[in-house]
Structure 1
């Protein structure tokens, strides 16, 4: 069986961790995209305020199957 996938790039954030930022991005994307098959972390970065990390940010590519 042949399949076709689409790849998009999204950004997830969290005040706690990179892992939670990834989960937040996937959970939100899953609300509108069905058949998500994989993700790839493209970039990790964060925001700093007063010398402390206040936000973790990830850019991820998400692959999902196109359905009829």
Structure 2
């Protein structure tokens, strides 16, 4: 039997939504191993001077847990 855990993370980027997701994966990989998937729960942007200033992503990261 395998066990998976899910954590919810917020990521941002001034480049794109894809870059914001990659930032989430990069940060998560520093503390968890065996990332299986990323579920995008919500996406939004901030606007400054009628232009997109920042892309924001709320995501759930699923990763494997070693059996003891």
**Do both proteins adopt the same fold according to a TM-score greater than 0.5, normalized to the shorter chain?**
yes
5+ residue gaps, structure 2: none
Residues 1-68 of structure 1: pairs in structure 2 closer than 5 A:
2-67=1-66, 68=68
TM-score (norm 1): 0.93
Q: Residues of 2 paired with 1:63 and 1:14: CA distance?
A: 21
5+ residue gaps, structure 1: none
TM-score (norm 2): 0.93
Summarize deviations over 1:3-44 as a string: whole Å, max 9, x none.
001111101100010000000110111011111111110000
